[in-house]
Structure 1
Amino acid sequence: MNDDWLTPAELTDALHPGLSGKARDAKIRLWQIRAKDGGWKSRRNLAGAPLARREGRGGGWKYHVTVLPQEAQLRLAAIRAKAAASDVPAPEKGTAEVWAWFDRQTAKKKDTARQRLRVLDQVENLVRGGLQKNSAVAAMADAHGIGARTIWGWYDMVAGADRADWLPHLAPRNQGRTATADMSAEAWAAFKADYLRQEQPPAEAVYDRIKDVAAERGWTVPSVKTFLRRVDREIPHACQVLMRKGPEAARLLYPAQERDRSHFHALQAVNADGHRVDVWKRWPDGDVSRPFVTVVQDLHSNKWLGWRVDKNPTATGVRLAFYDVFRKYGIPDLAWLDNGREFAAKIITGGQPTRYRFKVTPDELNGVLTELGVQVHWTTPRSGQSKPIERSFRDFCNHIAKHPALAGAYAGNSPMNKPDYRVKPVDLDTFLAVLEDGIKRHNARPGRRTGVCAGTLSFDQAFKESYERAPIRRATEAQLRMAMLSAERVTARQPNGSLHVEGNRYWDEFLTQHIGEKMTVRFDPEALHEPLHVYRTDGVYLGAAQCWEAVGFDSVDAARDHNRKRREWLKNNRRNAQLEQEMTIDQWAAMQPGMDEPEPPAARMVRLVTGNLAAARAMPAADPDHEDFDFEGFSRGLTLIAGDLE
């Protein structure tokens, strides 16, 4: 029951549902007494209309709800609202559509609708107070200085609508100027074909060409602004960007995926990419170019873990950058890599498919990351949003490439931003010193605004907190050697088996066993004074050979130290030799068995001797009187005679 005029019995039933019998009669009698004592029959509203009326001749009195005490009015309103809520039907499709339309309107139209709704609510309040609706509308028209017909027009706008949906129905429906200038369909098609292309011609130039053709073909052509307004009205902005600026620009209109990396722990996942530094550098061979830096970054903390510098992107730089990570921190589980060929090289990711190598052949050798159990993921080509390290490369420009120590060598990030001065290339040592210091400062800068650092920690601090609690796969010596660069085979030279690599000499005692043999070595080309790891050609590891540095010709201390080490080495070898001599040479000689003269064998056949041999006479005995005869001189004389005869 939603009638605002109630008898004491109806009022009792409304405020006390379910009450019956004497209790109900008592409540009815109580309301009758309150009506008599409160003078409800003589009460009137602001317009002078009575708030009590009698239902026909002999009927009982009905009272308007506004005469009730405030507590009774609130309770009655709550009961009615609860009953109405249970009977509310589901919103119709039209209701949702009208609210969606209202939400798209301007603030001015929405404010107008709210003002109209306030006037209608005031009219409804007067009606509920007992005033006739015509009188209520006239009173509100005078109060707001508008015509009564205007208010009745607003009622027409909400006719048949639920009170909860009055607001969108009261919004103005005027659309403003909707008339458009005449335009030939051919002219519109020509404008779209010429204007919506990646050369991005100005609209005025396109318009001039259309006017020239229209004059010959009789097209109707409005102003250039009319063309542009129609483009904005009928063609979505994303479609305009795609057609005039290309797919890369259109792709930027779609928001990038925000991926949370806080669930990783330190060193669990890394990403790697390269950056061409905007600095001219002179290399040891005299070449001048911009260096290329390969960086490995931790995804949990954003800390830069390893980096290497080279002239161009190479698999060697990638391998050595990961070698630094393995050596200092450990082996990651996951790696997101750029799609460059230096990362897709077989020595890095062999055994894992890439966009250059879509399948893995059975005889394909595993790369270093594959061998160490690092699962590789490939980022989207030309998509900096998918590589967090791309955003941190801004430090190369702001804090490294423009460092005061590199003044005069800055190349600019594009030909248009190139400084107007004569370039002074920086030497390798200076650049590496600035780079190392810049990376340390990049990792140590506090107040990083990332999900892990929370605006307070540095990358170093965030990495350390997680690293100390995380399960880390530490690299063994064999794994580190596997991650190093494989050099060309070298020969263990005479006379001591020393190895010569990149102008340096390496030697260790085990090399004396392989003099003249081919060896495979693994080493860090940027740390040539570190030990060189030596393998046989069949892959068997032999050991590490130390670098023997050249010293000054007149360095007495160095010569003395070298002689001391050589004496110790010889002494150790003599001691080893003595340990190997379990038997002296004399003892061994004494054990050699003696040999007896064999008896001559007996001849089975005897041959008769004949001829001159049988008649030969015995040589006469020497004459003692001729003992001083010079036989040697006589022999030389016969030789000379024989020579003359020839």
Structure 2
Amino acid sequence: MRWLSAVEIAAVAGVHERIVRLRAARDGWRCQLEPVTTGPARKVYAAADVPQAWLPAAPEATVDLSAERVAAVSAWKRWLEGSPEPAVDATATFIALWNAEPGQLHISAASLYRWRKAIDEADRDTLTAPLPGTPTEWPAGLWDEFRKEWLRPQKPAIAQSRRNAIRALKLDESKCPSLRTFQRRVDEEIQTAERVFLREGRKAFVDTVAPYVVRDWGMVGANGVWFGDHHQFDFVVAHPEDGRPMRPWLTAWMDGRSRKLVGWVLTAQPNSTTVLAAFIRGVRLHGCPAETYIDNGKDYRNRQLFGGRPKKGELTTFKAGLDETVAKSMAELLEITVHFALPYNAKAKPIERFFGTLAGDFSKDFPTYCGRNPVERPELQPATVRKLHAAGKLPTFADVEEALTDYLENDYHVRPHAGESGMDGRSPAAVFAAELVEKRTVPEHLLAVVAMPAGRPVRVTRGGLVRMDNVQYFANELFAGHVGRDVTLRRDLADTNAVHVYEGQRYLCTARALAKVSPLAAKPAEIEAVLRSQRRAPVETPAAPSSRVDRSRSRRAAGQAVQPSEAPAAAVTRLVQPNIESPDEVRSERAANAELGRVLEMRRPSTAPPEVPDPRALLLAEYQRIKARKEQTR
């Protein structure tokens, strides 16, 4: 039975609640006390005793439905009275005959029992249908106005959108569909694709609803494509410099065919330097990839590494490669084709899936695990970190590197991968070994040059000086013939005291960091000594091979120094020769040429050198000739 309070009845009937209480006492309405959350219990009255005039009329469809249900219950009662069968069997027979008649209201045993109970308790046939006042017809324009309100990027709630739509159309809220009706219609009529696109945006639509292209990695070989990206671990370690707690980063490269991590480094702050270090490590261990598929972050768009992503009006990577005066990127020197992923499209790079596996399998084994967000953070994690930090027992970078190496070699790389294209239940190590048809290696002396990325062109200034990262460098060769010309600089990250100077891919010289003099130096002799040392400072070079045969042997040895640890015997090793000069080779050739010139000079017969005219005399004669011509024309 339905119960209503005096306030609810007064609101529907449009009278004061005192009148409702007086009428209930006079007519003897059934009532009871209903407990509430706070305060005393309230008195409620049976809805069946409220006068029909005080309740809103049910819609026509509700009245018709109520009549059909009452008719079905009445016919069922008469059938039970005249049937010799047990009540259960008689009910089943009645339902079968009733539903067989065309146009009849479809009924079930549960519906009949529920309707009969409502009639017996309420003593009113109309309560068999939906409650009086429940609208089943939608006012014109209400649903369209609701859709406009709800399908917005602000993501309003259904209740708020319902209220806004009713206010916009100036409708009576009591005569409008209930909140539950709105919720049900939203679930039934508004498609997921429309809901996500209009409320959450295009990216969410593409990521979660739109169809996507499935790549078949079985169509490429090992070392065919490498993926690169950064990942921040979900645990805390000691900073390598000051020991403060911090979350370390991983810069990694993954082979797309086998899902094997080919090169990686740990760092406190990822940047283009860590990208290069991880890539060179992978090339040394497993050879050079044919193509790379990389992120759009600034660390990977670096022109020095992968040529940058050309913009409208800029020189493309292909055109830049035709100009020998332009320093080539690392990818061009190693003959690597570069592909950039769509911005904010993580699913395009399988390495993102590996990072998810790493977070679950590896990061959670550390006592300082902190989770990806506050929801995943263990309750005692901050206290644990403070305790370990105070005791000096936070994990170090060396600990993480050792643990990660063990995890990769003894777990991830040897674990069967199922459900991924081309894996067929094999481990990454097995797939890499089986699918490595050709290993492209790079001679070590040239790889060392490639590992020193070229900066933007700089101009050789007065005195043969070049500047890199606010440090000035000097070389006699620059002072002699390159002042005012643009050059590119390559520097070993481990040695900032020298830079290798290039013109395009041609090696010029090695410049040393400029010595500095105190501004209080008063003795000219001290300043002169520094300048003399700068002009004459010899460039220390490693011992060079004595002959071309020795140099050829060195190149072959460098190219064969790194052998594939898991490559099958059928794999072919191909040597990649970057089109760039090595400082060591150029110095060796220059030394050999100088020695040859000295020997030839010693064997040349001693003859008087030809007389060289004085340049000043020539200039004076030319001046006199021009002056005489001007006087003749006057």
Q: TM-score range by the shorter chain?
A: 0.3 to 0.5
Which structure would you say has the larger RCO, counting Cα contacts within 8 Å and 6 or more residues apart? 2
* TM-score, with structure 1 as normaliser: 0.46
Larger radius of gyration: 1
* TM-score, with structure 2 as normaliser: 0.47
